[in-house]
Amino acid sequence: MPHSLQYPINKSLKYLTIVMLLAEFCCLASCATHKKTTTPQTVIIPPEEIPIIKAAEAVTVAKEEKGITDESLKCITCHEERRVTHGWVADWQGSKHARKGVGCEACHVSSNAELATKEAIELEYLSTDGNSCDDKRVHRKVTASNCGKCHRKEYQEFMKSRHSIGWQRVLECRKLMEIPKGTRSEKCEQCHNIQFKCDSCHTRHTFNTLEAKTPEACRTCHMGSDHPHHDVYISSKHPAY
């Protein structure tokens, strides 16, 4: 073969090989893309079953991973499944109490040994009929002294503060002012009842200690002409820092 023809043929074979390799690469890439974009079959859950499924998941996680008692699981099931203040359960699930396995009955059931036996809790006070939770021995509001059973140091500090005599000051004021029978100073009670509860500073069921340290938490009570502490703080240079 003449030398002048050999070079064009070799060059053509080289280009043909490159084209074939590129075509094969594109084919493989297309197959890979097809596999990645293939979506699994979607399972449609009826809307009315979603709360029930969430409640079951919450109970399973609480029981298997966190060691929550059966008594507390009844509260979780009812408040989640029946949509009864289900936000409380969500707050509790994100709290340190839930991570440590501290359930509902640890705070909301009377500490009296005779009234708070496991049998009584199981059979009467925390049953799921929707009514027994109104029993007077299941407390909706947890007192500061009840929190003090576990949080001893914090409770002792609270008792040494002026917050611990908030309600006592209201009673003394009523005696001096001779408030007519039937009159309720609701505005006073909103702040001065801090004597009995800890959730005045950090929201119940979450009990985030960082929340209690914010100016917004203090502003709940310390504001207005009689207690201008928050107004003084805002007008100072402290917020800028």
User: How far is residue 224's CA from residue 226's CA, in Å, rounded to a whole number?
Assistant: 6
Does 87 reside within a domain?
A: yes
pLDDT at 119: 43
- Distance from the first to the final alpha carbon of the chain: 89
Q: What are the CA-CA distances from residue 130 to residues 27, 81, 82, 124, 126 (Å)? A: 64, 12, 9, 11, 9
Tell me, yes or no, whether 6 lies in a domain: no
Tokens standing for residue 232: 């003084």
Q: Decide which of 114, 140, 166 is a domain's last residue.
A: 140
Determine whether 159 is exposed, middle or buried from the number of CB atoms within 10 Å of its CB (0-12, 13-18, 19+): middle
Pair (131, 206) in one structural domain: no
What is the structure's pLDDT at 219? 80
User: Which burial class, exposed, middle or buried, applies to 67 when counting CB atoms under 10 A from its CB (0-12, 13-18, 19+)?
Assistant: exposed
pLDDT tens for the 241 residues of the chain, in order: 444 444 455 555 566 666 566 666 666 655 555 444 455 555 555 555 555 445 455 555 555 555 677 777 777 777 777 666 767 888 888 888 888 888 888 888 765 543 444 444 444 444 444 455 555 467 677 778 888 888 999 888 888 888 877 777 766 766 656 655 555 566 677 777 776 778 888 888 888 888 888 888 888 888 776 777 767 777 777 765 6
C-beta pairs of 55-61 under 8 Å, 24+ apart in sequence: 55/80, 55/81, 58/89, 58/93
Helices 86-93 and 50-65: angle between axes, nearest 10 degrees: 40
What pLDDT score was predicted for residue 57? 56
For the chain, how many structural domains are there in total? 3
Q: Which pLDDT does position 239 carry in this prediction?
A: 67
pLDDT of residue 114: 39
The model's pTM is 0.53
Same domain for 195 and 223?
Answer: no
pLDDT of residue 233: 72
Locus of tokens 């007192």 = 143
Distance CA 185, CA 207 (A): 28
Domain range for 207 is 201-241
Asked whether residue 192 is assigned to any structural domain, the reply reads: yes
The predicted structure's pLDDT at residue 208: 84
Q: Are residues 193 and 227 in the same domain?
A: no
Structural domain ending residue among the three candidates 89, 124, 140: 140
What pLDDT sits at residue 178? 61
As a whole number of angstroms, the distance between CA 43 and CA 179 comes to 64
pLDDT attached to residue 50? 52
Residue 18 lies in a domain: no
Residue 19 lies in a domain: no
Alpha-carbon torsion, ordered 150, 151, 153, 158, to 10 deg: -130
